[in-house]
A and B are shown apart, each in its own frame.
Chain A
């Protein structure tokens, strides 16, 4: 600690001290003779005198701006050349320049020194002269001094300490960039003694106002950690704090720090998970890579395997995925199968529902596939590969194929990963087969990898094209590549039995190739193939036997000999002859060939001892005196085993069994098999070995950990009514000013004006003050339109705030701040509720993107568009009034109470209170996968279940909420709203005596114990309609009476939306032709001639999601029936003048016909 105290007491102007130190150092230097201490730093100078070095120095000088005095100096240096004496001269020179008052001289000297460093020359003994310039006013000199310091401080720790005070001052500078750069250098100089200072500086910077300084602090964390791992606990605290930061600037850097310091503390991510997902698109490219990789790991620990259900389906042998599925099953070993069975059993118990957070991650990373940065694309690709449901993984193929046009290094890495993926998911890359064709100009390593991919993609249908390609490759001049091609052919032959003979014949033809390497490789591959069915191919074996005369490649010779030995019964005449020849040349053969000759001899001796006894003896004798001990041992061993002597043991009886046992055919498999246990895209995967610091990708958990850990502890605004609570919260929030002013703009890459985004979000908080969720969401969706008005509002409000007593306004702001946080977090939720309550699709996509798209100009464009679409005008007015109300409530917080939710959007009240449930709805409707796709219906249609009069005051309405019914995915959620308009209370509302068609099931709502007079209550029940429109009949009972009621669903509610890509859609449609397709011509309603209106009407009529489509003349929708999961595909193709054609493809024809009728009605009226 003393050292540090000393340090802190350092005078601000340390120049004098430096000077004394410097002179000491110089004195020491003079003591040493360069000749006597050749291993000291001087040695470098000695060698530096080579003419080459001088040239560099001069050129470096001119390039860096060319000092006028340099020309004078250069000859001086050379003039003194020839000995080491010049060397100190140049040093003095530089020192002199550094000591001068002129900045230009200093700069020149620094430039030369940096040039020396760049070339790897030692410049350490200039340290004292350089370090005192750390306080230089000239920015460039300063920068270069920093460069020098960072390079040499580690070696000269004591002297480096002198510079610390400068940095400490810099840390307090009002300019954020100076603060940041001071912290950067301070943390880079790797001097252990300043660890406490660094720690302090980092902590301080972590709560700096400027996000840029905070980013630098995040960068400094791993530096300090590598310097002193003892600080880990404290650093984790800082990381935790920075993880909570809401700016995109910091996010990437802090996750980087997290990965280096405490990757195992996955729990730190929980609270920030959703924020990271939402910020992701605006983070800079490098940060994106790190975050995505980290989130992949996170997701593997927190969510369930999305493919559990699918494997279940496959085992049932149903569906279109059996093809790939069976593939996969082959690949899997027993253990995995067992696991799967277990998982399947689990899945049976509980149907798989994707965690909304899991969905959020997939959705928010998908657009990044379009990044220009290959690393980002790869990161997303691996995320999808490891985390996405099988049906969705396909989207990454296209992007990966695109990367194949990039630099060859990128190709190399991408192809490695594609090779691994193509084993597991062949179907994914099959359409891009041709993109992997090989050009003669590709580098060999790329060729080989492409070949690997082609081989993995080969199947019965495309094998003929692939083999034709291979044929051209075999003729290539690149022999390594030819060898790889031959192996690939061998693999195709083993995998696809149909072409085995063709391949074999082709390979046999290659045996007459002029190039020995080609022949040798073919022999090796043929050997493997023949092992599979030797009896059929004795002529090939004969042919190969002849080749022993010509082929010299040891491996090939060995292979032939082994073959002949193994199948000597098939070639009884030739085999002894081959052995004879080999015996002749035995001494000149390579070791592997010798071993095979011995084997051949042994085998022949056992089968045909008459002819070969002598030959065998001869060979064994030769081998006995071989130089290689392996061969000697083998010979001894074999002799004992096969030649019967009086001493020979029991084993020789079994010699034949030992040697001529049936050998299993080899399995030719890809070297990339099972590489996917490494996280794809990682260094470890590429090297197929665990690299230092690699974090294992965990297996999916068997049961999902508690998803509520990701809930952010922002109490529901609506519930927070007491002032004390809010005051408590004030303490938590770190930088109010910052997030209001500085961080706002950085939040979003696209947002144009700082104030706009800041204002927008705070106006959001204002809105939510009204408490009603539905209102909030509705308005938020319109916030785009209303921006200017809101701005004014905001100003007004600010003024009011100012007038208020200090304490009041403070708490006000804090709660507002809190709310902002909340707001941002709940963005996705908003978008979700919009999807139900608002028809404005742009604003939906906008806000779901978490503020990144709200640039003003864009808003303008949107506005234009909206007017074009002729929006109903009264909305703003309505809003205005609401706002007034809100302000009231803001001013008078104590009186604030949650408003009863209006009837229009009952869903929100039902699905409400925790973020999780909200998100769940969101994810299942898949709205963000294609933001514009789900056209939200304006209001859900309500049906009457019980009229007020028949119900004696109790009226019941129901609607189909289109939410997944969580207790049972096969049920349709029916939301009921009970209104008691009688004068007395109603008690014990429940369902009885359910009468259903066979197969149908009902999940009743929990009994409503009390419905006071004049009150309203909602409840949700689930009905499994078995994909029919039969009504569900039951009795609705109160404590006094029973009413017979029935619920009959419109056919459009019997389905849930699914997300399909255009290609998937087409593919599916192709499979549902003929009887399953119903087409109807229609004339569109006048008001329904634009795309938007069509989408809206169709989605109102049926619970479908939109499928992206390249043409604007067509709208496509897709869904699955709730119970059986049959696909429902709807296409509306528009033509001139309102003419249109409606096509519905559905396996269930009844549903199809009814749906056509409904949609037709919706579109024509």
Chain B
């Protein structure tokens, strides 16, 4: 299936290659570089390319391209999903997924890749299993290893692959048994010029950090499970239980993992926490423009809106911005044409406002389109959909764990058209 993998940095250097079958010359990447040249943005490189003898499937993550070489028919999503899993694993192991980190840990990376794929077919992709075989680096261990000549490879052979619960390793022990769940909801919305919502959806995710000894069996139930109209689960969740009783029943992996994601589609009503009043105009004469943005709270359920931020991709013709912000500060990057207004907390009494003039390049026709505003915000202790975890029960172990749930609402792809 997956023949080879090349990792390429944003400059176009191949700094890692791994072959699972016979070796393929790195010149095969030239086709990719050609496509990369053609697409102005790295995001616009087609994920699947066809060359005379191979197919190239690539993903773009953290300024790196993971490029896999395929020779025969394979579902493209299979490869894409796997490449993302590889990137996730690096992130999990090293805290980030960047060129420097991969170069620094090249041996571990190589060992990981060796374990994750056999003859091009995924073998072990579960983080818990991998961590048993290849230990993630940490400072203490590298010091110890240096002194003793020890290694990162686990001494005992992992049992996870063989057990009936491949995502959890055996013999986990903690002195403090804790289980934390973060319910994060992101609002994806498009609001048009007049302030009416064109589309709005909520994307929710429940991230868990479970540090429990032994083999706990958890059950999570919701006050209002009917809200969740489309869900996807970590493999540990028992689907039938969900179908029949609408509770999440699972034996959790050890550590951090994504328990479930859910989607509340545009067919439902979605509360929009803020409104935006804006007027951006460019004048034909005098080559200047005017900008005036005010943001106010709309449906915030009585909570404060924090980390409010407005990002505007200005048209190419805008040279500079001369604005005053009643709250927070703004920056305008001349090269990327990015106007960022960092507001902070939204005060309902005194609405933040940004106004002033834009200076334009002379002799260039005015842009006919106004840029759209991207809004970032955060509301603590609130899931905007109204989802609430009602209880979390543990079976199978005797101790009393500490349990915690946190709710956060964020703006996802929140866009205001002007």
Chain A interface residues toward B at CB < 8 A: 56, 59-60, 62-68, 102-104, 107, 111, 114-115, 117-120, 138-140, 143-144, 146-147, 151, 154, 175-178, 184, 187-188, 190, 210-212, 216, 219-220, 222-223, 226, 249, 253, 256, 281, 284-286, 289, 293, 367, 370-375, 377-379, 398-399, 401-402, 405, 407-410, 412-414, 431-432, 434-435, 437, 439-441, 443-445, 469, 472, 475-477, 513-514, 681-684, 686-687, 689, 691-695, 745-752, 754, 841-842, 845-846, 849, 852-853, 855, 857-858, 860-861, 930-932, 1108, 1110-1111
Q: Determine if B315 is an interface residue (Cβ-Cβ < 8 Å).
A: yes
Q: Which residues of B have CB within 8 Å of A842?
A: 244
Report the nearest B residue to A402, measured CB to CB. B263
Q: Determine if B241 is an interface residue (Cβ-Cβ < 8 Å).
A: yes
Contact A443 B43, beta carbon cutoff 8 Å: yes
Contact A845 B240, beta carbon cutoff 8 Å: yes
Which of these, A56, A682, A1111, contacts B226 with CB under 8 Å?
A1111
C-alpha spacing A749/B111, complex, angstroms: 27
Q: Which residues of A have CB within 8 Å of B14?
A: 120
Contact A931 B240, beta carbon cutoff 8 Å: yes
Q: Determine if B21 is an interface residue (Cβ-Cβ < 8 Å).
A: yes
Report the nearest B residue to A369, measured CB to CB. B232
Contact A745 B265, beta carbon cutoff 8 Å: no
C-alpha spacing A431/B201, complex, angstroms: 13
Chain B, 147-179, contact with A by CB distance < 8 Å: what is the 0/1 string?
001111101011001111110000000000000
C-alpha spacing A736/B198, complex, angstroms: 63
Contact B103 A370, beta carbon cutoff 8 Å: no
Chain B, 337-362, contact with A by CB distance < 8 Å: what is the 0/1 string?
00000000000000000000000000
Residue of B249, B258, B365 ringed by the most chain A CB atoms within 10 A: B249
Shortest Cβ-Cβ A-B pairs, 5 listed: A104-B149, A693-B72, A63-B104, A434-B199, A140-B151
C-alpha spacing A118/B112, complex, angstroms: 12
Q: Determine if B402 is an interface residue (Cβ-Cβ < 8 Å).
A: no
Count of A-B contacts with CB under 8 A? 329
Contact A286 B111, beta carbon cutoff 8 Å: no
Contact A65 B142, beta carbon cutoff 8 Å: yes
Q: Which residues of B have CB within 8 Å of A852?
A: 240
Contact A477 B149, beta carbon cutoff 8 Å: no
C-alpha spacing A139/B155, complex, angstroms: 7
Contact A372 B19, beta carbon cutoff 8 Å: no
Chain B, 10-33, contact with A by CB distance < 8 Å: what is the 0/1 string?
000011111101110010000000
Contact A472 B239, beta carbon cutoff 8 Å: no
Q: Determine if B44 is an interface residue (Cβ-Cβ < 8 Å).
A: yes
Contact A857 B395, beta carbon cutoff 8 Å: yes
Q: Which residues of B have CB within 8 Å of A139?
A: 151, 153, 155
Question: Are A68 and B146 also in contact (CB < 8 A) when A63-B107, A147-B114, A861-B395 are?
Answer: yes
Contact B16 A118, beta carbon cutoff 8 Å: yes
Report 17 cross-chain contacts, Cβ distance below 8 Å, ordered by A residue. Answer: A63-B104, A65-B145, A177-B157, A187-B119, A212-B162, A286-B122, A371-B232, A401-B265, A409-B59, A409-B60, A410-B80, A440-B372, A695-B73, A749-B165, A750-B251, A857-B217, A932-B244
Minimum Cβ distance to chain B for residue A1048 (Å): 37
Q: Which residues of A have CB within 8 Å of B188?
A: 405
C-alpha spacing A408/B77, complex, angstroms: 11
Question: Are A67 and B146 also in contact (CB < 8 A) when A107-B151, A692-B73 are?
Answer: yes
State which of B47-55, B294-302, B325-333, B381-389 sits at the interface with chain A: B47-55
C-alpha spacing A176/B162, complex, angstroms: 10
Contact A858 B249, beta carbon cutoff 8 Å: yes
Q: Told that A375-B82, A748-B164 touch, could you supply 7 new A-B pairs with CB distance under 8 A?
A: A372-B232, A378-B75, A414-B77, A437-B198, A443-B44, A681-B76, A749-B165
Which of these, A59, A119, A147, A475, contacts B368 with CB under 8 Å?
A475
C-alpha spacing A1110/B176, complex, angstroms: 38
Chain B interface residues toward A at CB < 8 A: 1, 14-19, 21-23, 26, 41, 43-44, 46-48, 50, 55, 58-61, 70-78, 80-82, 84, 103-111, 114, 118-119, 121-123, 125, 137, 142, 145-146, 149-153, 155, 157-158, 161-166, 188, 190, 192, 198-199, 201, 203, 215, 217, 219, 226, 229-235, 238-241, 243-244, 249, 251, 258, 261, 263, 265-267, 313, 315-316, 365, 367-369, 371-372, 374, 395-396, 413, 415, 417
Q: Which residues of B have CB within 8 Å of A477?
A: 313, 315-316, 367, 369, 371
Question: Are A118 and B111 also in contact (CB < 8 A) when A60-B106, A139-B151, A285-B235 are?
Answer: no
Report the nearest B residue to A382, measured CB to CB. B75
Q: Which residues of A have CB within 8 Å of B152?
A: 64-65, 140
Contact A412 B104, beta carbon cutoff 8 Å: no
Which of these, B16, B153, B367, contacts A119 with CB under 8 Å?
B16
C-alpha spacing A1156/B344, complex, angstroms: 61
Which of these, A187, A219, A751, contacts B164 with CB under 8 Å?
A751
C-alpha spacing A1111/B246, complex, angstroms: 11
Q: Which residues of B have CB within 8 Å of A103?
A: 149
